[in-house]
């Protein structure tokens, strides 16, 4: 049997459904009750009890000292990059293998992405390879770290926790300290992922979470900034709420800012979703077990599993094809999608996109290889009906 047919058959064995999406939200908890409360009380906009509660609950869940909710994850990332000191024409180290938003947020600050290779163990930023690259190109001066090739300052590094698998943050923090780089985590995919007992997004100076419709917890659209830095949290809140100074009626704004507060309507949904995250996580672990079992005897494919010492949210279940089966990837994608079992490749390598082709980058053999070998499988928690 061709490998594409085998993969389809094994996915069906797990999903037991004729048609299944890659990741769909599930709203069996208090979502409707809380949203109804917003509508009935009239509190739907950027001030309301659910906005404050969602921030409190997110800080509580992640262990971050502060959470500031925003209407959009990319915008949130732009704001914290800027608060971490990224200036126009700086460079920011970002993974070559990431969703385009990571690089876009850097550009929205006027800075330039500088692409980094991946790690086979984490699917994220390769800390050892980055260390070797910085040895080659970077120079630490009193004003910060500089790229000798481009002449630009390298202001920060943005690890992204791919599909929920944590980057090796302790090693990255050490490297970043050595090169005086700010660490801003793109934790869009990793709510519910820990290294030891420390939640992703709480290692760097600050992090951004996403609640887009396909995420483990959704608000329809939105995100949150998390940080242990009280001053940064205060600035983030100020900048996302038009920098208005408190006054019963006067409109005094003290800097150029944004109107990026998450509406109460969306925060209400987020509160209800977050109440249920433990069951989502349990369902996703069970789904991983079922896929692992289903693919155990299939040659040339392997389910990507949590590294020892990490707890992974398994946001998207991930199949890694062997090097020899990589040329079957498109056949597998075509067969499974045509049969109603939705699968997806990983993103196009960011340095291949037209707007990022001229950007600085290191050699990216691992990212180049992984980009051909990754297939995401149907991952909705409600595929495990007993749990969710």
Give the interface segment with its own copies, choosing from 41-49, 174-182, 193-201, 357-365 (CB under 8 A).
Answer: 41-49
Pairwise CA distance, residues 12 & 9, whole Å: 5
Residues 319-378 that bind its own copies (CB under 8 A): 333, 337, 343-345, 347-348, 353-355
Which residues, in sequence order, are CB contacts of 330 under 8 Å at separation 6+?
Answer: none
Q: Are 94 and 342 in contact (CB under 8 A)?
A: no
Choice from 63, 150, 170, 258 touching its own copies (CB under 8 A): 258
What is the helix, strand, coil percentage profile of the chain, to 5?
Answer: 40, 20, 40
Pairwise CA distance, residues 54 & 189, whole Å: 18
Pairwise CA distance, residues 255 & 170, whole Å: 36
Residues 66-105 that bind its own copies (CB under 8 A): 71-75, 99-101, 103-104
Choice from 252, 297, 308, 358 touching its own copies (CB under 8 A): 252
Q: Are 187 and 201 in contact (CB under 8 A)?
A: yes
- What dihedral do alpha carbons 196, 197, 202, 204 form, nearest 10°? -20
Choice from 63, 144, 170, 221 touching its own copies (CB under 8 A): 221
Q: Which is nearer to its own copies, 72 or 200 (CB)?
A: 72
318 binds its own copies (CB under 8 A): no
Pairwise CA distance, residues 233 & 55, whole Å: 11
Q: Which is nearer to its own copies, 46 or 310 (CB)?
A: 46
Choice from 122, 266, 313, 364 touching its own copies (CB under 8 A): 266
Q: Which is nearer to its own copies, 314 or 356 (CB)?
A: 356
Q: Are 66 and 340 in contact (CB under 8 A)?
A: no
**Shortest distance in whole angstroms from residue 47 CB to its own copies:** 8
158 binds its own copies (CB under 8 A): no
* Beta-strand pair 112-116/91-95: parallel
The residues binding its own copies (CB under 8 A) are 24-27, 31-32, 35-36, 38-40, 42, 44-47, 71-75, 99-101, 103-104, 107-108, 110, 212-214, 218-221, 242-244, 248-266, 269, 333, 337, 343-345, 347-348, 353-355
């Amino acid at each position: 049997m061709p490998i594409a047919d085998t993969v389809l058959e094994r996915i069906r064995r797990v999903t037991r459904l004729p048609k299944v999406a890659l990741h769909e939200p599930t709203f069996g908890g208090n979502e409707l009750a809380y949203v109804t409360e917003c509508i009935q009380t009239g509190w739907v906009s950027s001030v309301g009890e659910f906005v404050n509660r969602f921030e409190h609950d997110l800080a509580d869940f992640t262990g971050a000292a502060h959470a500031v909710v925003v209407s959009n994850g990319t915008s949130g990332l732009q704001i914290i990059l800027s608060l971490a000191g990224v200036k126009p024409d700086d460079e920011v180290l970002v993974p070559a293998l990431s969703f385009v938003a990571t690089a876009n947020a850097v550009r929205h600050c006027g800075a330039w992405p500088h692409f980094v290779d991946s790690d086979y163990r984490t699917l994220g930023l390769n800390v050892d390879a980055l260390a070797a690259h910085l040895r080659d190109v970077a120079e630490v001066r009193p004003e910060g770290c500089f790229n000798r090739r481009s002449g630009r300052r390298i202001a920060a590094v943005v690890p992204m926790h791919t599909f929920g698998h944590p980057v090796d943050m302790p090693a990255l923090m050490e490297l970043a300290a050595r090169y005086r780089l700010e660490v801003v985590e793109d934790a869009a995919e990793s709510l519910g992922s820990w290294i030891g007992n420390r939640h992703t997004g709480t290692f760097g100076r600050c992090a951004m979470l996403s609640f887009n419709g396909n995420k483990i917890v959704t608000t329809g659209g939105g995100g949150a900034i998390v940080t242990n830095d009280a001053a940064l949290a205060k600035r983030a809140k100020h900048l996302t709420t038009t920098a208005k100074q408190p006054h019963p009626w006067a409109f005094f704004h003290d800097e150029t800012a944004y109107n990026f507060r998450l509406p109460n309507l969306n925060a209400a949904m987020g509160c209800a979703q977050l109440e249920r995250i433990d069951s989502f996580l349990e369902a996703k672990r069970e789904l991983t077990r079922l896929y692992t079992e289903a693919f155990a005897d299939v040659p040339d494919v392997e389910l990507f599993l949590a590294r020892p010492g990490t707890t992974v949210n398994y946001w998207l279940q991930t199949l890694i094809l062997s090097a020899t089966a990589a040329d079957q990837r498109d056949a597998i994608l075509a067969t499974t999608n045509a049969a109603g079992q939705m699968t997806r490749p990983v993103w196009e390598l960011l340095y291949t996109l037209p707007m990022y082709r001229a950007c600085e980058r290191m050699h990216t053999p691992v990212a180049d290889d992984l980009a051909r070998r990754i297939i995401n499988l149907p991952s909705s928690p409600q595929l495990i009906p007993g749990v969710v």
